[in-house]
Amino acid sequence: MDLGDRMKEYERAYDIRLPRRLPVILRIDGNHFSKTTKALKLRKPFDWEMRDAMVHTMRALLDYCSGAVLGYTQSDEISLLLRNNQAHTTEPMAGNRIQKLCSLVASEATDAFTRRIRHVNPVSTARREQVPVSFDCRVFVLPEDEVVNYFLWRQQDAMRNFILSACRWDLPNYDVQGVVSKMHGRNSVELREWYLKVVGDQANTIHHPGFEMGWSARRVQTEQALTAVLPENAKIPDGQDEFSTVLRSRWHVQVCPKLTTNRDYVGEALMGDHRVYDKPGSERLADCANLMANWGYDGEQAISPLAVSAARRFLALVAQEPIQPPFVAPVPDGGVQVEWPREDGSLFEVEFMAPDGSVLEPISWTWNRPDHGGYVAAGTGDAADISPPGVLTYLATVARAFLDGEESCPDLPTSSEASG
């Protein structure tokens, strides 16, 4: 045996591979991140720049890892779920080689986080060489019936860390060791009750569920117009037209549901269930309400509670009409859009906007018919006026006329017409 063969034999002795066709868990942790957060001068106990960088890193890893179906992040850690049994010919990422998986994923996480934090944090831009960033990674397989329990375990850790951090920073009369001693032996529910009892109305860190539940991402399918996904000047395929739609898969990031009561959230990802994202309007609106600044990673504003409240009143009126539920989506300027499409390509849209978060702008709506070269009708009105002939009541009527196939928009009644 020559020298090279002998060295390779030593290497092969430790080239351990995970069993195939079992769920793979990758857990990526920030290495010595107390130094990193100190160097970045992050806000305590919770920092949105850190959250932004971790969610960005999670999405980058989901795109990087073949077979990824679910991501979860809290604090300075990320957990990924990979499948390698989608078909009888499916090959696992890196052949399930433990050393390869850990080294590749840890380096990718370090690169993605570094790039993002330099983008959102001015300190890291000015002091790049002084901000240490590195991640480590561990990988293992689980039986399918333990996958949900793994993510539940990480979420419980997130909840405990959340309360511990809140207590450390909101209880000035307790020293750090005293707070830690109070934490010992208590579950997350007991910790929250104890914290609120001690702090009372002065609590200021229990304000967003994402820091308590963590953020997660899984693939969903959405319906898009065919013309929106075709390259510019591309020919529409035979059998299709400008009104045709296609399904596209994307990563949907959200505050992770409480897994003790929503175990199917993980189970559906494990089973490869990428169903069409067809939540009722009220559930979509709740998702919008949880979106914070930069939710689409392109400078979007946080969704205004005033816009959400106005949209909720409108949805309640719409629910009284015998029509299909609308599609509800966030608007980059911090508002909410409610819309209905029609088979002929027409679109009825209602927007609720409050860009600065303090004043609700007049509601705006459009009825658009492509074959008429543009708008059938458009207008604005006071979103606070919900009594007949209030604008919200009127728009609920317009939505019904639109979906009934009417060719023109009903007129807004005057007060005398309504009373008569």
User: 314: which residues sit within 8 A by CB, 6+ positions away?
Assistant: 338, 350, 352, 383, 392, 395, 396
Mean pLDDT over 84-88 rounds to: 84
Same domain, residue pair 47 and 193: yes
Collapsed DSSP state (helix, strand, coil) of residue 73: strand
Assess contact for 387 and 418: CB atoms under 8 A. no
Same domain, residue pair 28 and 168: yes
Same domain, residue pair 49 and 177: yes
Each residue of 159-218: pLDDT tens digit? 888 877 777 776 666 555 666 676 667 766 677 677 677 666 555 555 567 888 899 999
Mean pLDDT over 116-138 rounds to: 77
DSSP-derived secondary structure for 273-284: ---B----HHHH
DSSP-derived secondary structure for 310-367: HHHHHHHHHTTSSSPPPEEEEETTTEEEEEEE-TTS-EEEEEE--TTSSSPPPEEEEE
Instruction: State the Cα–Cα distance between residues 30 and 32, nearest whole angstrom.
Output: 6
Same domain, residue pair 184 and 42: yes
Residue 22 or residue 341, greater confidence: 22
Instruction: State the Cα–Cα distance between residues 339 and 276, nearest whole angstrom.
Output: 17
Is pLDDT of 386 > 50? no
Length of the chain: 420
Assess contact for 67 and 93: CB atoms under 8 A. yes
Collapsed DSSP state (helix, strand, coil) of residue 411: coil
Each residue of 392-401: pLDDT tens digit? 888 888 888 8
Mean pLDDT over 122-127 rounds to: 62
Domain containing 177 equals 16-213
Looking at 195, 213, 231, which one is the last position of a domain? 213
Same domain, residue pair 201 and 285: no
Same domain, residue pair 176 and 291: no
Looking at 187, 213, 239, which one is the last position of a domain? 213
Is pLDDT of 150 > 60? yes
Q: Residue 383 phi/psi, 5° resolution? A: -70, -15
Q: Report if residue 332 sits inside a domain.
A: yes
Is pLDDT of 412 > 50? yes
Nearest 10 degrees: Cα torsion 113, 115, 120, 124: 90
User: Which contacts (CB < 8 Å, 24+ apart) does range 287-291 have?
Assistant: 287/254, 288/328, 288/329, 288/330, 288/336, 290/209, 290/210, 290/254, 290/255, 291/330
Q: What is the count of structural domains for the chain?
A: 2
Same domain, residue pair 305 and 391: yes
Given this model, what pLDDT does residue 124 score?
Answer: 60
DSSP-derived secondary structure for 112-131: HHHHHHHHH-HHHHHTGGG-
Residue 390 or residue 137, greater confidence: 137
Q: Report if residue 229 sits inside a domain.
A: no
Assess contact for 81 and 147: CB atoms under 8 A. yes
Beta strands in 87-177 (DSSP E): 135-141
Same domain, residue pair 320 and 172: no
Q: Report if residue 353 sits inside a domain.
A: yes
Looking at 159, 186, 213, which one is the last position of a domain? 213
User: 411: which residues sit within 8 A by CB, 6+ positions away?
Assistant: none
Is pLDDT of 383 > 60? no
Each residue of 160-171: pLDDT tens digit? 888 777 777 766
Residue 389, Cβ neighbours under 10 Å: how many?
16
Is pLDDT of 135 > 50? yes
- Work out whether the CA dihedral 191, 196, 198, 204 comes out positive or negative: positive
Mean pLDDT over 291-305 rounds to: 76
Same domain, residue pair 209 and 289: no
Q: Report if residue 264 sits inside a domain.
A: no
Q: Report if residue 302 sits inside a domain.
A: yes
Is pLDDT of 74 > 90? yes
Q: Report if residue 292 sits inside a domain.
A: yes
Q: Residue 52 is encoded by which pair of tokens? A: 């932004």
Residue 172: give its domain's CATH number.
Answer: 3.30.70.3000
The residue behind tokens 């840890």 is 106
Q: Report if residue 65 sits inside a domain.
A: yes
* Local confidence band at 49 (pLDDT 50, 70, 90 cut-offs): confident
The residue behind tokens 């809140």 is 166
- Residue closest to 81 by CA, chosen among 51, 114, 47, 105: 105
Same domain, residue pair 198 and 288: no
Same domain, residue pair 413 and 288: yes
Collapsed DSSP state (helix, strand, coil) of residue 176: helix
Q: Report if residue 178 sits inside a domain.
A: yes
